[in-house]
Each structure stands twice: as structure tokens, then as C-alpha cells.
Chain A
Amino acid sequence: MKTIKYFIIVLATGLLAWMMPMMYHIITDEASGNIFTYYSSLEKSFCTIDFDEVNERLIRKNMKTGKEYNEAEFDSILPLFYYRQLLSDGRMPDTIHGVAVTTKDINSKTFYFRVNPTDKNTPHIPLYTLFESMSGRVNLEMPGDLFRITNKIEFVDPENNQVKTGKSALFMRAFEKRNFHFPAKLVAGNPSTRKPYEEGYFITDSEDQMFHLKMVNGKPFLRKVTIPEGVKPVHIAVMEPSDRSFYAFFFDEEHKMYQIQTDAYKVVAIPTPEFDLNRDKMMIMANPLYWNINVMSKKGKKAFAMDVHTREIVDQVTIDHDTKEAGFFSDLFPVSLYFESPYTRFVKPMMYFGGVTVLFFNLFFVLLFVGIMRYRKQPLSFIPLVWVALTGVLGFIPCLVLSK
């Protein structure tokens, strides 16, 4: 019976290692203030909006000079971000440091791109909608089938759940002609009708070669994309930007980011220092002159300004987060168990071990356990004692409850 008792203690300890940190988070979690930063093309410096909790007001300032601005002044130093306000006020400049900026330019070259670890690590039903890219219609229409691509490409008709043999064979021939090595590893598209046009899918084969698949007038368009030697893509994000200047971004095993441009499928590296897609979030706020590349990690936020023409980082700022709560866990709990994570949508058991100070707490709980057992005049068993020494408060509770 002791064995079963120990089984119960082990399960209860595991549950406490999961529940206690979870309860702690539920009680204490607060929104981490994400400070807005944007690179001013006028002042050539990062500007920020922060909240002053003492005076309860927004502080708009230049991060380099520390100069504070009122709302209207702040609009004017970020003309490419607040251009609609400036146009409405009649304050929009014609040029920025001698470079002409038109509303058309701003509209077409402004885009926002976000990528999170959950975009990569997420369960997905591997069926894909391929829209007609030359329909001649303004709005995209549902194609009437979805494709699967494992050891061959097959189009399935949702109305009868049957494979469309003719269309499947037609597309399969295109894949064979292009020497595509099945099975496909990555399949990335943007399966939404709420976009201005369709650029299909970017697919990698079993040898990490990349291909661009589209449907043009009902026929397959498959083209190989030449990516740098040795690069193994792990995630692709397809975009349909207004100026049609690029197709997609992709990330490789070395955490490097690349852009596939529409100009002859040129692949260009985007400098994103210290970015790991498995742990960090990224947001790009692009304008005709600079890309604001924000990398958000557990430690804080790093913002980079990249010159659009030279593709070089011209400025960067770091805003650290307060990470004191991690200290509390590492002090008290020898182990914390999590099944959910901001990095994946899969349920996955993850264990985090405490620091050295946890040994003192464990010793305290061992002494407390011994004291209580003595007070109750119960014999001390070796295994529960070792378990409390190893697991501290987590093992102490079930051992105490089941001690009789």
C-alpha cells in the first residue's frame, strides 16, 4: 500500500508544481507596459510615448535628447507615422531631409508585419486554400477546393469530400517538371479573401529547396526560388503588400530573417540581431525611409531602425523589463511545471528548476516535517523525508496530509 501512497504523493506534488505557480500568476500578473517607440526620420532618433504613473499623463519624448513634446509637436516629428493627422492639419512636409515624400509613397510603402513564436509552433490541419491569382475580379473568390501536399499534391472538393483527379494530376505534373522532392516540409500562404491580391504559397521540399506555387487561369505556376547556400528555412510568412515589392519573409535555423522580393525573386537578408523565433516576438513598422524592427523578448524590447535603401541598422534602443517575479519562484519552488507557454499553442509539459536558495527553503520544510511528525508521535519514514528534501513545499503538503 505504501507504493500506492507514494504514487499519490508524486502526482499531488506534480499538480502543486503546476497549480501553485499558476495561482501565483493569476493573482499577481499585470500587463507589462509595452512602450511605444518609433524612429523619427526628421530627428534621426528614436522617440517614445511612455506613461507617467505619478502625474498620470503621457510623456512624449526624444529618447536621445530627452526633450519632451506635446501631442501636436510629437505628430510633426514623426511625419511618416502621423501623416494622416498632419495632412488633415495641413502640416505635412513635402520633403524629409531633402527626400520627397508623397502620400502615395507613404500609403504604398507602409506596412506592418508581426511574427510570434505561436505562428510557427501551432497545430494546423494541413489543407490549404489556393485562390486564382488572375481571376480578373477585384475581390478574391473561394476556389472550390483545398489542396494537401504530402507525398503528392491533391485537390479535395469540400462539397463531396472527393479528390479532384484532373486538377490534382495537372498540378502534380508541374511539381514533377520542377523536380520537387516530396514530401513538402513547409507550406505557407495567406488563405484569406480579405487581401488585395493573391500570391499563392511558398513551399519547401524535403531537400529544403523553396518553390513558389500559384494558380494562374486555373493552371499551375511553380517556380523555384533560389535561396542562399546552406540556408534551411524553418518558417515562412507570406504577405501581399500594397506596393507588391516583396512576397514573403522567411526565417532559417540560424535565426536569420530574409525577404523574398518580387524583383526576380531576389532573397535579401534583413538584419535582426538577437532574434529567436522560438522565443521572441517581432514587429516591423515600415515606412518609405526606415523600418522600425521591434524585437520583444522576456528581457524586454529592442528596437532597431533600418534604412530602407542601405538595409543597415542606423539606430537602436533597448528597454528592459523588470524580471523580479522569476526570482520568487526560483527561491521558493524547486520546480515549476507549465503546460502552456507563450511560445507554442501545443500543450507541452515544461519544467523550470529553482535556484540555489531553494535548498534553504527545502531544509526549512524538512525540519518542519520532522517537527510535526515528532509532535504527532508518528514514526519518520525515510522516503517522505527525502521527497520533502527534494521538492520542498510541493512535497511537504501531500506528505503531511498522507502521513498517517
Chain B
Amino acid sequence: MNRALLFKEYKKTKWFILGIILAGIALHTYTFLKLGRSFRFAGMEHLWDVIINRDQFMFRDLKYFPLAAGVCLGVAQFVPEVIQKRIKLTLHLPLSERKTIMLMVGYGQLLLLGFFLLHILCAVVFSSFHFPYEFILSFLQTVAPWYMAGLLAHSMIAMICIEPTWKVRVFNILVMIGTIKMCYITDFPGAYGIVSCLLAIVVLYVLPFTFYSVYRFKIGEQD
């Protein structure tokens, strides 16, 4: 049953996954080519000077990609369930609701997490050829909140889609916007520092929220 449920998720999301992967590759290719151009035109020393002494961040194009990826995957997974009213069937499978929702949300979260780690790793490997480890540490501190925004968006989209009433759905949307805004307070390089750990806790904190929407759906809450 678990495999069948995961296969269903895969069937729903395969084109979106492909789209996210292609967009991720295209974005990295664009960023690396743009950096390569800067290497040739301005020289490495100037580039290091701009990054270190003028606080420029060369990977700013990545900023909204993880968020878009999280939203797209969340929409691909949960909007059809609600629009085509399949969620009722899904919740009546011979599996506990908790396990069903865990599998659905977990599928998306692990997929995003895996892809995000790979995406970050590519940037780190590229950077390690051209920049010192101090830069890589600053890069990780800067981009970590952006990738966490993607994970937050995915799990909160699930909560919003499954929620049966519009009043609470709007409230959930506002909670999602506020929570994601925490990841975009500033893009000053390295500004998040240790607060990134706090954001990681928030990512885990919001994970069970979907269960509350499922509970409200099951007890038949209506507008």
C-alpha cells in the first residue's frame, strides 16, 4: 500500500519534479556562466574584493527558486486531491490517516530536501574551486534560509489545501506568508548566522500542522 501511495504521488508530480530539476540546472548554469564571465572580465582578485569588502553576494539569483520549487511541488501534490475531491478517498485507504498524510508530505519533503542538498552541493563544489572556505561558509549561511523557505512552503501548502473552510484557509495562508517572510528578512551575506538553526526548528515545527487540517476535514468542518 505504501508503495502504491508513493507511486500515486510520483504520477501526480513527475512533470513538476522534472520542471524543478530542469529549472534548478538552468539556474545554476546561468549563475556559473555569469560568474565565469565576471572572472574573465573583472578578474578573480576584483571579484574576491567585491564579495569580501563590499558585501556583494554572487548567488542572489537563487533567492526565490527554492520557494517556487516548494510551492510548485505542494500545489502538484495537494491541489488535485482537493479539486478532484480525491482526498476523501485517500483518507479512506486501508492505512491510518496519519500514515497516509505522513507518506504524502514526507514524499514531497524528502524529495525537496534531497534536491536542495544536491543543488547546494553543486554550488559548493563550484565555489570551492574559485573561493576560499570562508566564502563557502558565508554562502551556506546566506542561502540556508531560502532553501528552508521551500520546505516550509511545501508543508504549509499541504495544510492550506486540505483545510476544509475558507476562513481558516485564509488564516493559514497568512500564517504561511508570515512564516516564509522569516526566511527573507535580509539577504545581507551571512546575516542569518546561527538563526538558521532556529529556522530549521520552525521547519520541523510546522510539519504536523497538516494533521490538524486533516482532522478538521474528517470531522466535517464546513464554511
Contacts and interface: CB of A to CB of B under 8 A. Distances in A.
B45 A158 contact: yes
Given A161-B129, A345-B188, A345-B191, A4 B211 contact: yes
Contact of B195 (A8, A148, A161, A349): A349
B188 A8 contact: no
Interface string B128-143: 0111101100100100
Contacts of B46: 142
A1 B206 CA distance: 14
Interface string B44-57: 11111101110000
Given A1-B212, A4-B209, A158-B44, A15 B168 contact: no
A158 B171 contact: no
A126 B191 contact: no
Contact of B189 (A123, A161, A348): A123
B49 A124 contact: no
A148 B132 contact: yes
A108 B190 CA distance: 38
A401 B134 CA distance: 47
A125 B185 contact: no
Given A8-B209, A11-B206, A123-B141, A18 B178 contact: yes
A221 to B, nearest CB: 22
A76 B215 CA distance: 78
B165 to A, nearest CB: 8
A250 B101 CA distance: 58
Contacts of B178: 12, 15, 18-19
A325 interface: no
A159 B44 contact: yes
A123 B188 contact: yes
A352 interface: no
A125 B45 CA distance: 15
Contacts of A85: none
Nearest to B46: A142
A127 B51 CA distance: 10
Given A7-B208, A125-B135, A129-B53, A347 B185 contact: yes
Interface residues of A, number: 37
Contacts of B189: 123, 125
Interface string A334-351: 000001100001111100
Interface residues of B, number: 44
Nearest to A401: B171
A127 to B, nearest CB: 5
Given A125-B138, A142-B46, A339 B182 contact: yes
Nearest to A126: B134
Contact of A1 (B47, B198, B215): B215
Chain B CB within 10 Å, residue with most, of A126, A158, A349 = A158
A288 interface: no
B122 to A, nearest CB: 18
Nearest to B145: A347
A346 B193 CA distance: 7
The prevalent SS among residues of B at the interface is helix
A183 interface: no
A53 B174 CA distance: 41
B11 interface: no
A11 B138 contact: no
B186 A148 contact: no
B45 A7 contact: no
Given A11-B206, A142-B46, A161 B175 contact: no
Contact of B132 (A129, A156, A347): A156
Interface in A125-144: 125-127, 129, 142, 144
B185 A340 contact: yes
Contacts of A148: 132, 134
Contacts of B47: 158
B194 to A, nearest CB: 9
A15 B179 contact: yes
B78 interface: no
B52 A127 contact: yes
Contacts of A18: 178
Given A1-B212, A158-B45, A404-B221, A340 B186 contact: yes
B137 to A, nearest CB: 8
B146 interface: no
Contacts of A127: 48, 52, 132, 134-135
Given A127-B52, A142-B46, A161 B132 contact: yes
A402 interface: yes
Nearest to A146: B48
B192 interface: yes
Interface in A154-180: 156, 158-159, 161
A15 B186 CA distance: 17
B205 interface: yes
Interface of A: 1, 4-5, 7-8, 11-12, 15, 18-19, 123-127, 129, 142, 144, 146, 148, 156, 158-159, 161, 191-192, 339-340, 345-349, 398, 401-402, 404
19 contacts: A1-B212, A15-B175, A19-B178, A124-B52, A125-B189, A127-B48, A127-B135, A146-B52, A161-B129, A161-B130, A161-B131, A161-B132, A191-B53, A339-B182, A345-B188, A347-B191, A347-B195, A348-B195, A402-B171
